[in-house]
Chain A
Amino acid sequence: MPDRPVRRRAELVLSLGVLALGIAAAVVAWRLPEAGGDARIGPNFMPRIVAGGLIVMGLWLLAEVATGGWREPVNDDAAARGEHAFDLRAFAWVSAGLFAQMALIRHAGFVIAAMALFGCVSRGFGSTRPLRDAALGALLGLAVYLFFVKFLNVSLPPGWLAPLLGGAGL
């Protein structure tokens, strides 16, 4: 059974978000200087138009909320979309993988960050074999690392594996 109050609240929050973004942009835009140099239209012109556009859209969305909800909404019934209900654990595992990678990539290096990312994301998608996933991630990360660093000359951080990766003579 689709949950009307949840939908209404989400629509309200998102509409207010668009409006708030427009107002924030307007505040910044009105502090920008007028025409500088030879250009007749200054760097503050487009920002004002865009801020105004966002404010109008925010108000329009709010008007739709006030008059019975957004028009042409996405179906709230997950089953009707061929999906299951929102799975917070899956969402959190995927996010955790990305955070782990952010935390690790600098110091621990690309390969270890890839291992953590791969393990967490696989877990989020329902895999129950963390060791195998981590090993797969490390292997893929290593292959990618060698290919990009040695072949494409894209620099990636070796991190803790620097002695190993540097010493391989590649």
Chain B
Amino acid sequence: MPTPRHPFAASRRSRLPIFAMAVSALAITLTACGGDGGGGDGGGDGSDGDAAEGPVTITWWDYYQPGAQEDAVVGALDEYEATHSGVTIDRQFIAYDDLKQSLLQSAGASALPDIAIINGPDHQAFAELGIAADLTDRFDEFDLYPEGAIESASLDGRIYGLPITANTLALFYNTDMLEEAGVEPPTTWEDMSSVAAALTTSDRYGLAYSAVNNQQAVFQWLPTLWQAGGDLTDLGAPEATEALEFWAGLMNDGSVSREALNWDQAQVAAEFGQGRAAMMINGPWQIPFLATEAPDLDYGVALLPTHTESASALGGENYLVVDGPNQDAALDLLTWLQQPDQVAALAEGTGSLPTRSDVPPFSDDPSIATFTEQLQVAQPRAYGADYAEIADHVVVAIQSALSGTASAEDALADAADAVEPLMDQ
């Protein structure tokens, strides 16, 4: 008996459609791959093409979240527009996660914004891409900024951007929970372990940090590494193992939620704000967030606990001016934004510390005063243009050790091998 044939079965005549279907399916694959995650690159071409004279539209990209941060930025830009006729600012929000990809795609399509706010450690890569205007001889006040901040915007001795603000990590603590447990904010690693354990109850964790699968985890862990006397350049060293074991220990004790592997710093702040964590490692940019989302929360900020050294990580954003037809107008806008009162307002609104030496760090707020003090021992992430790749290897080590799939030592040994050829020597 012959095999029954489905009416759809390909006869010799109908083979072509099936072939065509396979080919078109592949074609879909091709185009889909080319466009993976391709959203976010809205028309960034605000350039009029004309010289700087006449009406000009400055396209501005930032990743400030709606709320206090966005209000501060938009307020400043509106004020500039109102006082400068002929200048329109087209401010666009680009999510932090999409920013690098959007900039790269826009660069390929020659549709870049005129000003982009980018994270300090990414600045060098964009300077190397050749899209950033060289500001070295076009701005007079670079000496008012700390060396580390200028360095993050520099490449081969030329300056390709302006630091906006600086930030660093410190320890937020819930005052009521600490009082209730009868403990003080920890000052050493040993303190940290015992205090975090004492603060842990059935409905909250003692501490929250971010070990999420991106650079934020490295930013969060680096202070611990430096406190132990280690560095990313030597992850095979016992200091690095000790630092990672300390972090893993806090999690294994149950003082830190396993979910920290899925929490970015914003989610860490949400946990703290909702009282599900008694302490958190986080930065001053969470202060405006906590003020609006948890106005009744009574919290304080303490310096990070120390081990063999005191250390924290220096973070911050830079302005990048795109090397394009509107760069003069863009630089005028940035110069205006660098006036001390503008810098102070923006820093307060975005929850960061002003970097200019002529702007007082509004020390009447005790939390900000602590962050300003913490900044004294904050170190930049100056590991060269391959930092993004280095950070990814470090994240894998952190997550392997925290989840227990590898010992801290083995995980770091793997990362050390992968990272070594990427380090600028």
Partners in one complex: no
Please report A residues at the B interface, Cβ cutoff 8 Å.
none
